[in-house]
Chains A and B, each alone.
Chain A
Amino acid sequence: MTGDGFDAWASARVPVLLRFAYVVTGSQAEAEDAVQAALERALPRWGRISRTEDPDAYVRRMIVNAHISMWRRSGRHESPVELVILTDEADPADRVTTAEAVRRVCAGLPRRQRVAVALRFYEDRDYGEIASLLGCSEATARSYVHRALQALRRELGEERSDA
């Protein structure tokens, strides 16, 4: 199936979607799987999707759904992303960067919270959109992000006290 410009769209947009999926899943393998699953679902209905204003939005949604569904179906509540292990916290030269703190916080977040954070701070989605994607209330979506921010604050606070 190459009709309706799927190949052209995929060539241009899959790199972006892989990056988004990587932020959501925290792993290259899972990111590729999530994008592949989304494309598989999109292909049979590409004729309709391509006529919408924003095909990316539908595929992104599929990626999020795939990721959340993995969580729901597996019963696992933790991301499989490996934690970043600090080497020698006493040495200022090895002090973790804020980016590493973000990575570590994300690794410890439940999947839905991590998705909420990715949608909010990587995709700049508003809380209404996040709630819609996650199938929760807007208040719950705000709560997910708020808790992630608290976790980041704790992470950075601990680092400051360690340094």
Chain B
Amino acid sequence: MHDLEQVFRDGLAELGGEADTAPPVVRRVVEQARSGAGRRRRSALAIGAAAAAVVLVAGLGAVLLGQRSGVEGPAGPSPTPPAVAPSAPGGYRLEFWHGVAVYVPATWGWGSAPTDPGTGATALCGAGQVVQADGSRREQRTLPYVGRPIALSNACDGSWAHERPQAPYVWLGGDVPVGTVDLGGGWVRKTIAVGDVRVSVASADDALRQAILSSAHEVTGACSPRLGNPPVAGGTKVADFVPVSMTVCAYGPTGTGLDYDLLYEQELSMGPAKYLVAAVDSARPLGSSSCYGASGGEWALLRLRGNPGGFRDYVVDMSCPSITDQNGAQHVLDSETARPWAVGGINAVLHVNQLVDVPDRFIPPLP
């Protein structure tokens, strides 16, 4: 064994010595880190035109999205408030997953649900990590949440099936058998099938569990459940377009990397929609540093509906990162152009860019 370890040490030392660390390379890396430009393109070129493109961790300056509530308007300069977005019965909000909608308490956060992370076994990846209703992330098992089958962490736990929770949860689309499981201490998890989607609710409160489960229903959502290609910007080009609502459709690559799954869908009101139009209109164009093609990463389609009847689609490429307007022009994705739509559970499903991520999520806070 010792010899093998030494073989590894020697071989890796030789491998490390092959890296090009010439001064021009070092300068380029440092300079591009300052500008945030060019990273994805370089890798994409190196890897080639493989459909399963690598998603790179973009990283502009850390910007916290400081909404007070996950589904309210932006925290910045005063959007028009009003309420044309679908409203939910008092104290509840509507959550979507792959053609199924369910009402959940509006104060619950977002988290994960059991899925196969690629190991062949169902696991809960990121149990206890919850994006709170204000969009911030906490590791707190006592917070109730709505989980989707998306890994929030590389720490995957296979013991979820009979684990008694410390807070109620809803799992949408989890890889969970239909039926009822007694989790002890009065806690029960019940799983039903709505179409092809499993909906599980764990609670010690029978009435709450039943209320949530009975609200689950099939819907034809505003977002396509799967895309063969990244979304395309378009829609009305009229200068005085006034949106009255916005649908956020967040997509991530499937396991094959050949297409894109709908991860999250959210309706927002006129305020955020108007704010976004203004922000995009004044956003800095990417110009020569525009991304040359579609990444295999995460995308958001932002559909704004106007009055009467017109619409406009903006497309966010999280890997670039950029936001493309109705004319096909790419703009810088910055805090202004992210703030209006990157709210609520977005932080639980899109990970590539810090603009919609809480800094230090993967890295412990510095002392």
Contact = CB atoms under 8 A, between A and B. Distances in A.
The finding on whether chains A and B are genuine partners in a shared complex, rather than unrelated, reads: yes
B253 to A, nearest CB: 6
Name A's interface SS.
helix
A99 B255 contact: no
A36 B4 contact: no
B155 interface: yes
Contacts of A32: 25, 28-29, 39, 42
Interface string B54-89: 111111111000000000000000000000000000
Contact of B57 (A11, A37, A121): A37
B367 interface: yes
A122 B11 CA distance: 9
B154 A75 contact: no
B4 A149 contact: yes
A137 B207 CA distance: 38
B290 interface: no
A148 interface: yes
A95 to B, nearest CB: 15
A135 B21 contact: no
Interface string A104-128: 0010000010000110111000000
Q: How large is the interface on A (under 10, 10 to 19, 20 to 34, 35 or more residues)?
A: 35 or more
B20 A28 contact: yes
Given A35-B29, A39-B33, A43-B33, A118 B55 contact: no
Contacts of A18: 19-21, 25-26, 29
Contacts of B351: 69, 72-73
Interface string A27-59: 111111101110111011100110010000010
B49 interface: no
Given A70-B56, A149-B8, A52 B296 contact: no
Contacts of B12: 23, 102, 106, 117-118, 121-122
A29 B47 contact: yes
A18 B154 CA distance: 24
Contacts of A112: 154
Nearest to A31: B19
B32 A36 contact: yes
Given A39-B29, A40-B36, A28 B46 contact: yes
Q: Which of B17, B25, B253, B296 has the most CB of A within 10 A?
A: B25
Given A30-B46, A135-B153, A74 B52 contact: yes
B99 interface: no
Contact of B29 (A14, A61, A122): A14
Which of A20, A31, A73 lies at the interface centre, i.e. has the most chain B CB atoms within 10 A of its CB?
A73
A52 B367 contact: yes
Interface in A5-37: 7, 10-11, 14-15, 18-23, 26-33, 35-37
B30 to A, nearest CB: 5
Nearest to A146: B1
Contacts of B15: 22-23, 26, 99, 102-103, 106
B43 A30 contact: yes
Contacts of A49: 366
A101 B7 CA distance: 9
A72 B46 contact: no
A90 to B, nearest CB: 23
Nearest to A66: B57
B16 interface: yes
Contacts of A70: 54-57
Given A40-B60, A102-B11, A122-B13, A11 B1 contact: no
Contacts of B29: 14, 18, 32, 35-36, 39
Given A1-B34, A28-B46, A99-B11, A33 B39 contact: yes
A121 B252 contact: no
B155 A135 contact: yes
B4 A41 contact: no
B20 A65 contact: no
12 contacts: A29-B43, A36-B39, A40-B58, A69-B351, A73-B351, A74-B53, A76-B54, A80-B54, A99-B10, A101-B7, A106-B11, A118-B12
Given A23-B19, A36-B39, A77-B118, 12 more contacts: A10-B30, A14-B30, A15-B21, A26-B15, A29-B45, A32-B28, A33-B42, A70-B55, A99-B15, A106-B15, A112-B154, A149-B4
Interface of B: 1, 4-5, 7-21, 25-26, 28-30, 32-34, 36, 39-40, 42-43, 45-47, 52-62, 118, 151, 153-155, 252-257, 296-298, 351-352, 354, 359, 362-363, 366-367
Closest CB pairs A-B (n = 7): A102-B11, A29-B46, A39-B33, A22-B19, A15-B21, A40-B59, A19-B16
